[in-house]
Amino acid sequence: MIFYRSWSPVQALSFDLDDTLYDNHRYIQGAEQWLMDYLKSEVHATAHLGPQQWQAYKRKVLKLHPELRGDVSACRKAWLRLAFIEHGIAPEQASQLAASIFEQFIAVRSDFTVPEASLSLLKQLAKHYRLLAITNGNVDIQRIGLAGIFELELKAGGEFKAKPEPSMFLHASQVMGLAPQQMAHVGDHCITDVAGATKAGYRSIWLNQDGQQARQLQSLPDIEISQLAQLQHLL
């Protein structure tokens, strides 16, 4: 545990989800494979498309609608819909089909439970801090075992720009009735989490599990930890 600034107690801890409370890579990779298999077997109009062609649709959507870059859910539904329309499916049917497939994707993507060690730690922290979640992802928080853990849950999309933009951080501060400096954000990403929190006036706790060099950061965190369990020192 490394302190880069003098630490004074905060009243709330916000948490990133993916790759902070659990290893997200295998879950999202599995969901992406499920999606490719489903599209190939169940949607005949686009069954001939491969992963590279689907990626091209994603790039096309982001070029047409750059505002979707920070909204992973809306972006995915948009590139599915675009591909369906370009392969002969009527627009209304394409929208319905994209929405239906997306809901199934989220179910597959959220088919896991947060490790017991993370859940236990959060419950301990909840005795001393108000807890909230601030994520750029779209995992179903209820399905993965986090129901009732957080006082507030914010996801990028719609009115909220993705981290490192400050909109979710500032909204959370307002809803919680706390000044940004009374809150600390915990996350693994040096830009979206550390720089984003710092920009919003939060304290920041960087989960550096990969041994990255602090000199590479845009903004220094208040605290650097190498394992989530080290947050016990804040109890």
CB 184 within 8 A of CB 157: no
CA dist 94 and 81 (Å) reads 5
Task: Report residue 119 CA to chain centroid gap.
Answer: 17
Among candidate residues 16, 71, 188, 193, the one labeled active-site is 16
Is 140 among the residues known to form the active site? no
Which residue has 């020192």 as its token pair?
Answer: 233
- Between the alpha carbon of residue 165 and those of residues 96, 170, 218, the distances in Å are 31, 10, 14
Tokens standing for residue 199: 């920009």
CB 14 within 8 A of CB 185: yes
CA dist 224 and 205 (Å) reads 6
**Residue of 160, 203, 196, 155 lying closest to 179 (CA atoms):** 203
Active site residues: 16
